[in-house]
Amino acid sequence: MRAPVAVVAFERPTLRVLDQTLLPQEEHWLEIGDLETLEEAIRSLRVRGAPLLGLCGAAGVAIAAERDPGDAAIREAAARIGRVRPTAVELATGAAACAAAVLGRAPEERAAAAWTFCAEYLARRQAEDEAIARNGLAVLPPGDVLTHCNTGTLATGGIGTALGVIRAAFAAGRLARCYVTETRPLLQGARLTTWELVKSGIPAVLLPDTAAAALITSGRVSAVVTGADRIALNGDTANKVGTLGLALAAAHAGVPFFIAAPVSTVDPGCADGSAIPIEFRSAEEVGGFRGQRWSPGGIEAWNPAFDVTPGGLIAAIITERGIARPPYGPGLRALFEHAASG
Asked if residue 240 binds ligand MRU (CB under 6 A), the reply is yes
Residues constituting the chain: 342
Asked if residue 149 binds ligand MRU (CB under 6 A), the reply is yes
SS3 257: strand
Active-site position among 129, 144, 209, 229: 229
SS3 124: helix
* Residue from the set 3, 61, 146, 305 that interacts with ligand MRU by CB under 6 A: 305
DSSP string computed for 193-250 = IHHHHHHHT--EEEE-GGGHHHHHHTT--SEEEE--SEE-TTS-EEEETTHHHHHHHH
Closest C-alpha to 136, from 37, 227, 75, 41:
227
- Return the range that interacts with ligand MRU (CB under 6 A); candidates 26-34, 61-69, 147-155, 269-277: 147-155
CB of residue 43 vs ligand MRU: minimum separation in angstroms?
A: 11
Question: Residue 319: CB partners within 8 Å, gap ≥ 6?
Answer: 132, 135, 260, 261, 262, 263, 335
CB of residue 104 vs ligand MRU: minimum separation in angstroms?
A: 30
* Residue from the set 50, 92, 98, 175 that interacts with ligand MRU by CB under 6 A: 50
Pair type for strands 145-147 and 178-181: parallel
| R_g of the chain computed on alpha carbons | 19
Comparing CB distances to ligand MRU, the nearer of 96 and 155 is 155
Comparing CB distances to ligand MRU, the nearer of 14 and 151 is 151
Q: Give yes or no for a contact between 278 and 308, defined as CB atoms under 8 angstroms apart.
A: yes
Comparing CB distances to ligand MRU, the nearer of 223 and 305 is 305
Q: Give yes or no for a contact between 90 and 57, defined as CB atoms under 8 angstroms apart.
A: yes
Clarify whether 229 is annotated catalytic: yes
Whether residue 107 is preceded by a cis peptide bond, meaning omega within 30 degrees of 0, is no
Quick note: the x/- pattern for ligand MRU over 70-109, rule CB under 6 A, is ------------------x---------------------
- Return the range that interacts with ligand MRU (CB under 6 A); candidates 76-84, 169-177, 225-233, 247-255: 225-233
Quick note: the x/- pattern for ligand MRU over 180-199, rule CB under 6 A, is --------x-----------
**Helix, strand, coil distribution of the chain in percent, nearest 5:** 45, 15, 35
CB of residue 229 vs ligand MRU: minimum separation in angstroms?
A: 5
Asked if residue 156 binds ligand MRU (CB under 6 A), the reply is yes
Which residues are near ligand MRU by CB under 6 A?
Answer: 45, 48-51, 88, 149, 151, 155-156, 161, 188, 226-229, 239-240, 305
Please list the active-site residues.
229
